Amino acid sequence: MEKRQLPDGPNSRQRIHLIGRLMKAVKWATLFSQLCSVKGDSRTSLEAEAYASYMKANLLFEQDRNWDTALMNFKSARAVYEELGKYGDLENQVLCHERVDELEPSIQYCLRKIGESNLQTSEFLHIGEMEGPALDLFKAKLEVVMAEARTQQAASLTEFHWLGHRFPISNAKTRVAILKG
């Protein structure tokens, strides 16, 4: 990516309009995230939180300020999408992996901008990692999503193949235990 500057002339109005639209998108994404945390299931809530973080980071990215906060939001969204990409049906996994790939250039650009602003990059290496109650809440939500995914997969698992032999599974708890392993 090339260095971004607020252009002079006719394009400056377009950029200001873009930033205004992004501000509205951040507002609605935040409201959607709050609504999903109250009314939605755990997977939907995590996806909405990741989307809200992504939109906040995009706004800061376009405003060319608060690179550390933008980086934190991009990394938070990437962490959620990486974890959600491990579970669920194939279509959702592909979608999550595409989103992670989409986030990587923005994260690299933020790291470069933080380095250019004469700040110590070592201070920002662990910004995206959550600490304390936020980490516990994230892990709890993620565990609920993983348990739901295992239960759904266990319902469809009737037998498994091992060393060329087929073994039927009749017990639901056994199915879940096999999927955990």
Q: Which of these, 75, 78, 73, lies nearest to 96 by C-alpha position? A: 78
Token pair of 129, please? Answer: 């990692």
pLDDT value of residue 74: 92
Contact 75, 128 (CB under 8 A): yes
Q: Are residues 79 and 95 in the same domain?
A: yes
* Distance between start and end Cα atoms, the chain: 43
Q: Are residues 90 and 154 in the same domain?
A: no
Q: Are residues 100 and 161 in the same domain?
A: no
Instruction: State pLDDT tens for residues 12-56.
Output: 888 888 899 999 999 999 999 999 989 988 888 889 999 999 999
Token pair of 135, please? Answer: 């980490």
- Number of structural domains (the chain) is 2
Q: Which of these, 57, 62, 53, lies nearest to 29 by C-alpha position? A: 53
Question: Which residue range(s) make up the domain with 138?
Answer: 130-181
130 dihedral zone (left: phi>0; alpha: psi -120 to 50; beta) = beta
Q: Are residues 50 and 104 in the same domain?
A: yes
Q: Are residues 112 and 156 in the same domain?
A: no
Instruction: State pLDDT tens for residues 94-107.
Output: 888 999 999 998 88
Average pLDDT, the chain: 77
Provide the pLDDT confidence category of residue 152 given band limits of 50, 70 and 90.
Answer: low
Q: Are residues 170 and 102 in the same domain?
A: no
Q: Which of 127, 154, 172 is the last residue of a domain?
A: 127
CATH code for the domain of 96: 1.10.3450.40
Q: Are residues 70 and 123 in the same domain?
A: yes
Q: Are residues 46 and 110 in the same domain?
A: yes
Q: Which of 94, 111, 127 is the last residue of a domain?
A: 127
List all residues 6 or more positions away from 19 whose beta carbon is below 8 Å from its beta carbon. 59, 62, 63
pLDDT value of residue 60: 92
Q: Are residues 152 and 117 in the same domain?
A: no
Contact 141, 130 (CB under 8 A): no
Q: Are residues 169 and 112 in the same domain?
A: no
Q: At 121, which helix (H) or strand (E)?
A: none
List all residues 6 or more positions away from 154 whose beta carbon is below 8 Å from its beta carbon. 172, 175, 176, 179
Q: Which of 127, 147, 165 is the last residue of a domain?
A: 127
Q: Are residues 96 and 140 in the same domain?
A: no
